[in-house]
Amino acid sequence: MDKPVKLLSVGAFTLDTILRLDTLPVHQGKFIASDGVQIASGMATSAACAARRLGAEVSLWASAGDDAVGDQLIAEIEAEGVD
């Protein structure tokens, strides 16, 4: 049996906020989002999660804040199985 690939992903660990608008804006202005989500992101983070989903053993080497956002980011990647 083949050993799983081991991967160390190094780089950005960010929180993306994605908002949904009911209609595409035609003019400049302020708009109220109808829905939104915040997810762990960043190139290294996305690559780590994708590799884990493909069966690799993955560790992420990145900085996270010592606050609620940092805790959220860490919880999300741990739920993905990334170390």
Structure confidence at residue 19 (pLDDT): 94
Give the DSSP per-residue string, 28-83: SS----SEEEEEEE-HHHHHHHHHHHTT-EEEEE----SSHHHHHHHHHHHHTT--
Using one digit for the tens of pLDDT, what is the confidence trace for 22-65?
988 888 989 999 999 999 999 999 999 999 999 999 999 999 99
- pLDDT at 4 exceeding the cut of 90: no
Structural domain boundaries of the chain? 6-21+31-79
Contacts of 1 (CB under 8 A, 6+ apart): none
* Residue 67 confidence (pLDDT): 95
Q: How far is CA 38 from CA 18, 41, 51, in A?
A: 6, 9, 21
> pTM to 2 decimals?
0.77
Span 69-83, mean pLDDT?
A: 93
